[in-house]
């Protein structure tokens, strides 16, 4: 009788485990407590760790991650790096964008547990003959929750630039060989190979400033590497633009070159730059100059120019050797007094420096906006 009860118990346990295993295949040891299969879900699921193996740059050839969410509202402002966007509602129209090889690993995802778009698309791909399909059911929300860096599209960057949104756009490619020959307008050059050396002077002091890194497209990992370094420095709003400059040039034409940077127009007073000249350079070729804010740190915390470095006026003399010699320097402050003094000091201590200041009243807001009124 005892042996009969043991056999029955063993059979019951086997049945309990066999049912879900027969219905769902969860790759990469997905947490059973996290993955709660729902009616209508695709049967082959993967977890965050599985996706992270393939959401890398350069993009693996044998894998395609697919975001099934709407383009403008969801994919553009945030998606898993290396993913392509085929909204489920547009699947039939965009099916030609799927890989030709039906054995390619396809990983679909959308907006988490309550989102069926990725499952619907997976079934559609299966009907087309694709044989290696998975769904990341937790989707983009969990990707970010787990601490991974998100990605944005090139059109989204264009939108931010058009809106003059507060952000810093960073080109991680080599400066002379790539950046100087064409870059996204408004970007600063911070080559990944020089990140540790230049980050302190080129990245903003406010660690909550949105940072967007790009390089040479899906075959380039420089932007991803730099983004990870920025996160380690404490920046909290870091994303990458995986398609980078190649797609920008394709969609919107070649960007400005270093040779095409606007020339500095000097003001009436010796050592000054006109407000119009500064604003043109700051808008079209910000990386062609160094901006040094000579106000006190507490003043700078309330706002300054994107990419500006803070060296308080009282520290300029002892830190004169830190000032770069490869590009013109524009000193700024709130009214022109301290910045003018910085120019005088630099010319006395290090005449080889090309230094300028604005004789103007400048007011900043913490989001990066500013107003400049030139003095007459």
CATH number at residue 18: 3.40.250.10
* Same domain (yes/no): 64, 104: yes
Confidence tier at 34 by pLDDT (50, 70, 90): low
Instruction: Specify the higher pLDDT residue, 291 or 7.
Output: 291
375 — pLDDT class (breaks 50, 70, 90)? confident
Note whether 235 and 221 are same-domain residues.
Answer: yes
Q: Which of 211, 238, 256 is the last residue of a domain?
A: 256
Q: Examine the domain organization and report whether 165 and 108 are in the same domain.
A: no
Q: Are residues 273 and 347 in the same domain?
A: yes
Q: Which of 122, 145, 168 finishes a domain?
A: 145
Same domain as 75, residue 30: yes
Pair 230, 357 in one domain: no
Please determine, for residue 27, whether its predicted confidence score (pLDDT) is greater than 60.
no
- My answer on whether 91 and 119 are in the same domain is yes
**Which of 148-152, 258-262, 277-281, 289-293 has the largest mean confidence?**
148-152
- Give mean pLDDT, residues 102-127: 97
Q: Which residue has the higher pLDDT, 338 or 368?
A: 338
- Please say which residue of 112, 145, 178 terminates a domain: 145
Residue 29: pLDDT band with limits 50, 70, 90: very low
Looking at residue 330, its pLDDT comes to: 96
Alpha-carbon gap, residue 363 to 264, rounded angstroms: 22
Is the domain of 240 the same as that of 352? no
**Does residue 80 or residue 375 have the better pLDDT?**
80
Tokens 């044998």 belong to: 62
**Residue 41 scores a pLDDT above 80:** yes
Burial class (CB in 10 A: 0-12, 13-18, 19+), 374: middle
Q: How many domains does the chain have?
A: 3
Which strands sit side by side in the sheet containing 84-85, from one edge to the other? 25-27, 44-46, 133-136, 105-109, 63-67, 84-85
Q: Is the pLDDT of residue 33 over 70?
A: no
pLDDT at 288 over 90: no
pLDDT at 284: 82
Dihedral over Cα of 236, 237, 243, 244: its sign: negative
Task: Give the Å distances, CA to CA, from 93 to 67, 86, 87, 101.
Answer: 15, 9, 10, 19
**79 and 114 within one domain:** yes
> Are 38 and 78 found together in one domain?
yes
pLDDT score for 21: 35
Lowest mean per-residue pLDDT among 85-94, 189-198, 305-314, 320-329: 320-329
Are 132 and 181 part of one and the same domain? no
Between these two residues, 9 and 249, which has the higher pLDDT value? 249
> Do 362 and 314 share a structural domain?
yes
Q: What pLDDT sits at residue 35?
A: 64
Domain coverage including residue 291: 261-374
What does the mean pLDDT of the chain come to?
89
């Amino acid at each position: 009788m005892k042996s009969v009860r043991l056999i029955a118990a063993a059979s019951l346990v086997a049945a309990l485990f066999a049912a879900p295993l027969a219905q769902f295949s969860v790759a990469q040891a997905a947490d059973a407590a996290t993955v709660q299969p729902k009616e209508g879900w695709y049967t082959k699921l993967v977890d965050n760790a599985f996706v992270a193996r393939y959401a890398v740059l350069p993009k693996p050839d044998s894998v395609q991650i697919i975001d099934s969410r709407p383009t403008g509202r969801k994919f553009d402002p945030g998606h898993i790096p290396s993913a392509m966007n085929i909204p489920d509602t547009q699947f039939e129209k965009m099916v030609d964008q799927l890989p030709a090889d039906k054995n390619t690993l396809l990983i679909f995802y959308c907006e988490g547990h309550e989102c069926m778009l990725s499952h619907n698309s997976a079934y559609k791909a299966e009907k087309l003959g694709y044989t290696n399909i998975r769904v990341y059911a937790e989707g983009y929300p969990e990707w970010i929750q787990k601490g991974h860096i998100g990605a944005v599209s090139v059109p989204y960057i264009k939108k931010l630039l058009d809106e003059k949104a507060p952000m810093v756009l960073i080109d991680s490619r080599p400066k002379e060989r790539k950046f100087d020959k064409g870059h996204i307008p408004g970007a600063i050059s911070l080559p990944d190979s020089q990140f540790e050396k230049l980050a302190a002077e080129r990245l903003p002091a406010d660690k909550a400033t949105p940072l967007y890194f790009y390089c040479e497209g899906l075959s380039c990992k420089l932007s991803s590497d730099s983004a990870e370094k920025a996160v380690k420095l404490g920046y909290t709003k870091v994303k990458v633009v995986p398609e980078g400059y190649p797609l920008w040039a394709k969609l919107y034409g070649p960007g400005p070159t270093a040779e095409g940077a606007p020339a500095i127009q000097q003001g009436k007073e010796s050592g000054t730059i006109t407000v119009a000249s500064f604003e043109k350079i700051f808008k079209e070729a910000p990386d062609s100059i160094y901006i040094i804010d000579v106000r006190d740190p507490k003043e700078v915390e309330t706002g300054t120019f994107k990419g500006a470095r803070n060296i308080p006026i009282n520290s300029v003399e002892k830190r004169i050797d830190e000032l770069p010699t490869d590009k013109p320097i524009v000193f700024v402050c709130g009214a022109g007094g301290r910045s003018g003094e910085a120019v005088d000091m630099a010319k006395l201590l290090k005449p080889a420096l090309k230094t300028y200041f604005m004789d103007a009243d400048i007011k900043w807001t913490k989001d990066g906006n500013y107003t400049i009124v030139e003095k007459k």
